[in-house]
Amino acid sequence: MIRAESGRASHKRGLWAETVAVWLLRAKGYQIIGRRVPSPRGSKAGEIDVVARRGCLLAFVEIKARPSVEAGLYAVSERQQERLARAAERFIKNQPKYATCDLRFDVIIIVPGRWPLHLVDAWRTNPS
């Protein structure tokens, strides 16, 4: 039972962090295109936390709520970056109106008692 409660608390903390991140992005002039955007089943691409647009720029944003900035950075593994890149690819295929936008991968780290850290252009993908 403790495990389930911990899972619910973690999920609730994640939703709160996502809401904080969305408000931060809006304050910076981004339009939120989607939250918790799923990839098709079996694509091994995972979920995109937030898709945000500003002008001709489309940002795929990974949000991490962690006890420290270092823990947040560590949580965005290379494998996760690859999965997010696949999810972004799928998103563009399903939403061709964004195909001409510049794409970017950002991370927002939410740490208790600190201002959210927005890492712009946190990593790049290899062109395919």
More confident residue, 18 or 11: 18
Cβ neighbour number for residue 99 with a 10 Å cutoff: 10
pTM of the model: 0.87
DSSP 23-40: HHHHHTTPEEEEEEEPPP
User: What pLDDT is attached to residue 126?
Assistant: 67
Tell me, yes or no, whether 79 lies in a domain.
yes
Whichever domain contains 111, its CATH number is 3.40.1350.10
Tell me, yes or no, whether 96 lies in a domain.
yes
| Strand partners of residue 31 | 53
Tell me, yes or no, whether 78 lies in a domain.
yes
Question: Token pair for residue 15?
Answer: 């939703």
Tell me, yes or no, whether 128 lies in a domain.
no
The answer to whether residue 127 scores a pLDDT higher than 60 is: no
Number of domains in the chain: 1
Tell me, yes or no, whether 84 lies in a domain.
yes
Domain residue limits at 24: 2-123
Among 36, 126, 35, CA closest to 89: 126
CB 104 within 8 A of CB 58: yes
Tell me, yes or no, whether 57 lies in a domain.
yes
Instruction: For residue range 35-78, list pLDDT tens digits in order.
Output: 988 876 666 667 899 999 999 999 999 999 999 999 999 999 99
Tell me, yes or no, whether 82 lies in a domain.
yes
